[in-house]
């Protein structure tokens, strides 16, 4: 036996190892569930799968190979079985905790993988050290289903660090809030009233739709969705629809949007097209107690007052008309500046009678 080997053996026989000690060794062999290290001691060091990783399905032969050098922490010295039990995972946890401590003190942003979804939040691992991110600190809006984060990497900051009590708290929300504020500032610095912009429908309500303009939301009110009458925004828009709008008003961080572009205004030239005396045909769009609104074209509704429906007395429009019914009437008044047109069927009857009298003469 070479002299050097003998000296090594002698040194190993005299060496002592204690629990908690960090040792370095060379991989002698690897099995799917076990790693053996030569740690320069009379007994080999053994790392089982659960002391290497939390992944119970990991095949250790895919993670390390014979001849690799590794560090591990001593968990138990079992000389009767010629073994020293080691933990690679526990050492990595200690290193990870040190990394978390430094990040906590320096307010650094960390990135970790979500390994488990809990009732109250997420369990995230950074270099084998665990961080708990409460549900209230995961996002800047309420998240109902936390499972969407499982297996994903997320960024966060450490807001509480107490490893002795196993209380290491991460906060992702403040990063998202800060990012949103940055995006908003950049957005508001470059936009102006009247700017046309394309957005994505984020949410639709009874009174309008919220449009994502690129990190900033604007409200498209039901009255600004079309030049025509809109009864239900949900019949006009769906979530994720692309929509072209323009900025109608900016009030602080509130943005009012509109789809009613001036060049598409159906009232442009309406006073000439629907001059007094013009005979028009349209469909009854809706009715009230005092009259029926007749759609002459999309965006232009004219009022047929109950008193102008017939020469006979009519109590309410619904007695003689139906929504969707086509009617022909005469334009009796145009108030272009107010976008109002008044119709009369009675006036039509009068014209017919006058034409018949002239024919008889």
What is the average pLDDT across 312-329?
93
Confidence at residue 74, expressed as pLDDT on a 0 to 100 scale: 93
pTM of the model: 0.58
Q: What b/e sequence results for 76-112 when a residue is b if at least 16 CB atoms lie within 10 Å of its CB, and e otherwise? A: ebeeeeeebbbbbbbbbbbebbebbeebbeeeeebeb
Rg (CA), the chain: 39
120 C-beta neighbours (distance < 10 Å), count = 10
Give the integer Cα–Cα distance in Å for 178 and 185. 11
| Geometric angle at alpha carbon 329, from 324 and 330, rounded to 5° | 150
User: Which of 1-10, 77-86, 177-186, 194-203 has the weakest average pLDDT?
Assistant: 1-10
Highest mean pLDDT among 79-88, 92-101, 230-239: 230-239
> What does the mean pLDDT of the chain come to?
89
Could you please report the per-residue DSSP string of 150-212?
Answer: TT-EEEEEEEEEEGGGTEEEEESHHHHHHHHHHHHHHHHHH--TT-EEEEEEEEE-SSEEEEE
**In which band, very low, low, confident or very high, does the pLDDT at 356 lie, cut at 50, 70 and 90?**
very low
The region that residue 336 occupies, defined by phi over 0 for left and psi between -120 and 50 for alpha, beta otherwise, is: alpha
What is the average pLDDT across 334-339?
88
pLDDT digits (tens, 9 = 90+) for 240-286: 999 999 999 999 989 999 999 988 889 998 889 999 999 999 999 99
What is the average pLDDT across 119-125?
92
Q: Are 34 and 60 in contact (CB under 8 A)?
A: yes
Q: Are 5 and 55 in contact (CB under 8 A)?
A: no
- Looking at the chain, the number of H-run helices and the number of E-run strands are 6, 20
DSSP 93: H
pLDDT at 233 over 80: yes
**In which band, very low, low, confident or very high, does the pLDDT at 350 lie, cut at 50, 70 and 90?**
low
pLDDT digits (tens, 9 = 90+) for 5-51: 655 555 555 567 888 899 999 999 999 999 999 998 888 999 999 99
What tokens were used for 19? Answer: 């629990």
Domains and CATH numbers, the chain: 3-90 (2.40.50.140), 107-176 (2.40.50.140), 192-263 (2.40.50.140), 270-360 (2.40.50.140)
What tokens were used for 302? Answer: 């004219």
Place of tokens 């001036």: 262
Q: Are 222 and 277 in contact (CB under 8 A)?
A: no
Q: Are 163 and 96 in contact (CB under 8 A)?
A: no
Q: Which residue has the higher pLDDT, 56 or 238?
A: 238
Burial of 266 (0-12, 13-18, 19+ CB in 10 A): middle
Confidence at residue 359, expressed as pLDDT on a 0 to 100 scale: 44
Give the integer Cα–Cα distance in Å for 333 and 347. 12
pLDDT digits (tens, 9 = 90+) for 155-172: 999 999 988 888 999 999
Confidence at residue 354, expressed as pLDDT on a 0 to 100 scale: 46
User: β-pairing, 217-221 with 279-287?
Assistant: unpaired
User: β-pairing, 208-212 with 217-221?
Assistant: antiparallel
pLDDT over 90 percentage in the chain: 68
**In which band, very low, low, confident or very high, does the pLDDT at 358 lie, cut at 50, 70 and 90?**
very low
């Amino acid at each position: 036996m070479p002299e050097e080997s003998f000296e090594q053996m002698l040194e190993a026989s005299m060496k002592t190892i204690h629990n908690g000690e960090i040792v370095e060794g060379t991989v002698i062999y690897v099995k799917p569930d076990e790693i053996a290290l030569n740690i320069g001691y009379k007994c080999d060091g053994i790392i089982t799968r659960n002391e290497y990783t939390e992944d119970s399905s990991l095949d250790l032969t895919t993670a390390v190979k014979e001849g690799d050098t590794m560090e591990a922490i001593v968990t138990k010295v079992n000389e009767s079985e010629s073994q020293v039990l080691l933990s690679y995972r526990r050492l990595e946890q200690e290193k990870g905790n040190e990394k978390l401590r430094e990040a906590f003190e320096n307010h650094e942003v960390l990135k970790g993988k979500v390994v488990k979804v809990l009732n109250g939040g997420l369990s995230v691992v950074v270099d084998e050290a665990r961080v708990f991110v409460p549900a209230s600190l995961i996002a800047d809006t309420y998240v109902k289903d936390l499972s969407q984060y499982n297996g994903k990497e997320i960024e966060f900051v450490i807001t509480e660090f107490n490893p002795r009590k196993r209380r290491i708290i991460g906060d992702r929300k403040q990063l998202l809030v800060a990012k949103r504020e940055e995006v908003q500032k950049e957005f508001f610095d470059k936009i102006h009233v009247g700017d046309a912009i394309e957005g994505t429908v984020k949410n639709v309500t009874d009174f309008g739709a919220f449009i994502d303009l690129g990190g900033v939301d604007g409200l498209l009110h039901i009255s600004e969705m079309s030049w025509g009458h809109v009864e239900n925004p949900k019949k006009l828009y769906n979530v994720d629809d692309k929509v072209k709008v323009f900025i109608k008003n900016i009030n602080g961080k509130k943005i009012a949007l509109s789809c009613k572009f001036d060049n598409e205004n159906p009232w442009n030239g309406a006073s000439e097209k629907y001059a007094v005396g013009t005979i028009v045909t349209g469909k009854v769009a809706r009715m009230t107690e005092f009259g029926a609104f007749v759609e002459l074209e999309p965006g232009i509704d004219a009022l047929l007052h109950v008193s102008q429906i017939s020469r006979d007395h009519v109590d309410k429009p619904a007695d003689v008309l139906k929504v969707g019914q086509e009617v022909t009437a005469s334009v009796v008044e145009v108030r272009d500046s107010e976008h109002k047109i008044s119709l009369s069927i009675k006036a039509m009857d009068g014209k017919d009678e006058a034409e018949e009298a002239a024919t008889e003469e």
